């Protein structure tokens, strides 16, 4: 009996901590298009336990915002002015390597996926498959990879 009660206490504590993490999930959106950022914000607000903690319009701003805001996960475009998403992810990874990044891009190819993986990006979704962003973020928050494209 003592073993059972102890086991239940550990499970309850773990479950409470896991739920707490879901409630506090903070997401940074990085895309040079204000329209894409708005659509992502609208999509992410459908998830009851997530909040958009900030936005950035280019790679350099993404690095600064990631450092200052300490998000739980980042949604990052590839093609942006100045510094692309892979370059930004490399720099973000040096500052906060524990934060998973989901690349969200029009230009998702096998070559880009390999480049992304090489710099620590843990997931990617083509913009044409935007409905899979939620699935991708949920996978990253479970410490899983998620690369999805119908191309």
Relative orientation angle of helices 110-118 and 85-95, to the nearest 10 degrees:
20
Residue 104 CA: distances (Å) to CA of 11, 40, 100, 120, 127: 35, 10, 13, 15, 6
> Which of 2-6, 20-24, 31-35, 69-73 has the weakest average pLDDT?
2-6
The CATH number corresponding to 25-148 among 3.40.50.2000, 3.40.50.800, 3.40.50.300, 3.40.50.2300 equals: 3.40.50.2300
The Cα 17–Cα 23 span in angstroms is 10
Instruction: Give residue 20's region: left, alpha or beta (phi > 0; psi -120 to 50).
Output: alpha
Q: Whole-structure pTM over 0.95, yes or no?
A: no
List the domain boundaries for the chain: 25-148
Tens digits of per-residue pLDDT, 46-101? 998 999 999 999 999 999 999 999 999 999 999 999 999 999 999 999 999 999 99
Token representation of residue 89: 């992810």
Decide: residue 10, CB within 10 A, 0-12 exposed, 13-18 middle, 19+ buried. exposed
Dig out the tokens for 2 from the structure.
């003592």
pLDDT tens string 107-148: 889 999 999 999 999 999 999 999 999 999 999 999 999 998
């Amino acid at each position: 009996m003592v073993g059972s009660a102890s086991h239940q206490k550990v499970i309850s504590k773990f479950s409470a901590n896991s739920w707490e993490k879901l409630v506090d999930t903070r997401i940074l959106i990085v895309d040079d298009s204000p329209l894409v950022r708005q659509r992502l914000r609208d999509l992410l607000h459908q998830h009851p336990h997530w909040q958009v903690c900030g936005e950035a319009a280019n790679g350099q701003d993404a690095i600064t915002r990631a450092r200052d805001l300490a998000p739980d996960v980042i949604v990052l475009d590839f093609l942006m002015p100045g510094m692309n998403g892979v370059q930004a992810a490399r720099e973000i990874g040096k500052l906060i390597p524990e934060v998973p990044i989901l690349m969200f891009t029009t230009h998702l190819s096998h070559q880009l996926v390999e480049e992304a993986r090489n710099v620590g990006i843990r997931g990617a979704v083509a913009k044409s498959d935007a409905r899979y962003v939620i699935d991708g973020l949920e996978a990253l928050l479970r410490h899983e990879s998620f690369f999805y494209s119908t191309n």
